[in-house]
Structure 1
Amino acid sequence: MDIDAFNGSAAEELTETLTACADIPAWVAAIVDGRPYADTDALLRTAEGATAFWTADDVERALAQHPRIGERSDRGGAEAAMSAREQSGVSQEADVAERLRAGNAAYEERFDRVYLVRAAGRSAEEILAMLEQRLTNDPQTELEVTAGQLREIAMLRLRGLLDLPADPPATRMDP
């Protein structure tokens, strides 16, 4: 979708599309209400800026859509398709799948939410290393890291909607 199509889309349609990027109504509304955009850079700046206002409740709401890493969403729709594409590089080998299952379980036991990581551009080994490191975080730090990963996913998905190169952030180990 180019910027003209984005600007010209019906608000309801655009809201549904953006909700698949991140189910955070205030973020979606800020982007929809910010139209028309002069160019994609202006749109991306607005979207990125609006992530600064995400609350813990916003993050928790958005996590409800996300499948566990290494699993596929059974919900269908645009969000499930995006998630499947993003996780396409995660190995489905039995050993990796078992390590992800065990790691997901440990994470959910510790933090009472699904482990979220930007999988696009990362190997299963990188994802597992991040998971092990993040299990050492205190709850507040981990919430901040999770919000950061959600921001990366949302922006990556938005770039995809705009047919822009993924340009994911450099792989790094989060605190």
Structure 2
Amino acid sequence: MHLEEFNSASRTGAADALRPCLDIPRWIDELAGARPYPTLAALLEAGRRAANPFTPAEIEAALAHHPRIGERAPGNSTEARLSQSEQAGLGEAGESVADALAAGNRAYEEKFGRVFLIRAAGRSRGEILAALNTRLSHTPEQEQAIIGQQLREIAVLRLEGLMGK
């Protein structure tokens, strides 16, 4: 989809296009309702603004759609394909890194009661593992802020990719 198509789509069509980027109704409604955007940069900036801050409930709802790092998102939805593409960029993991990520995911979920979320695009598995290990020392409040930032980064990257099609 190109910006012109997004700007001229019905509100429902625009919302449907945005949903795989970030399935938070308030974010979708803000972006779909503020059309038309004069430039892609203006749309991306609106996406950043609408995503800051997220409420705890919005974060929990968004996390329900994200697979564990190192695991393939199930299905063939647009959101699943985006996640698969983002994680495919990590390359193959050696057995020790894959095992460490799996153990870290379990430890994170035990401590925080949610999946570990990080923007995978542009990061190696080693970088993700290092971030996971660092974040395991955080408080729930520290993690809430970091998760919000990671969701914003993921949403804007996906939005940019969506508009490049």
TM-score past 0.5 threshold: yes
**Alignment map for 1:155-166 (pairs within 5 Å):** 155-163=156-164
The CA RMSD over aligned residues, in Å, is: 1.3
**Alignment map for 1:20-169 (pairs within 5 Å):** 20-90=20-90, 91-163=92-164
Separation (CA, whole Å) in 2 of partners of 1:154 and 1:29: 14
The Cα of 1:78 is off from its aligned counterpart by 0.5
Separation (CA, whole Å) in 2 of partners of 1:89 and 1:39: 28
Checking the alignment, whether the CA contact within 8 Å between 1:17 and 1:78 is kept in structure 2 is: no
Structure-2 residue corresponding to 1:10: 10
Checking the alignment, whether the CA contact within 8 Å between 2:52 and 2:152 is kept in structure 1 is: no
The Cα of 1:97 is off from its aligned counterpart by 1.6
TM-score by length of 1: 0.89
Larger mean Cα displacement after TM superposition, 38-47 or 86-95:
86-95
Separation (CA, whole Å) in 2 of partners of 1:87 and 1:9: 30
Change (3 A) 1:4 1:89: closer
Counterpart of 2:94, as a letter, is: E
The Cα of 1:3 is off from its aligned counterpart by 1.6
Larger mean Cα displacement after TM superposition, 74-83 or 90-99:
90-99
For the residue of structure 2 that corresponds to 1:87, the secondary structure is: helix
**Whose RCO is larger (CA < 8 A, sep 6+)?**
2
- Partner deviation per Cα, 1:107-152 (whole Å, 9 max, x = no partner): 0000000000000010000000000000000000001001101110
Separation (CA, whole Å) in 1 of partners of 2:76 and 2:94: 24
For the residue of structure 1 that corresponds to 2:88, the secondary structure is: coil
The Cα of 1:28 is off from its aligned counterpart by 0.4
The Cα of 1:42 is off from its aligned counterpart by 1.6
Separation (CA, whole Å) in 1 of partners of 2:16 and 2:111: 32
Checking the alignment, whether the CA contact within 8 Å between 1:86 and 1:119 is kept in structure 2 is: yes
The Cα of 1:98 is off from its aligned counterpart by 1.1
Unaligned runs of 5+ in 1: 165-175
For the residue of structure 2 that corresponds to 1:43, the secondary structure is: helix
Q: Percent identity?
A: 45
TM-score by length of 2: 0.95
Separation (CA, whole Å) in 2 of partners of 1:15 and 1:93: 39
Count of paired positions:
164
Separation (CA, whole Å) in 2 of partners of 1:96 and 1:21: 28
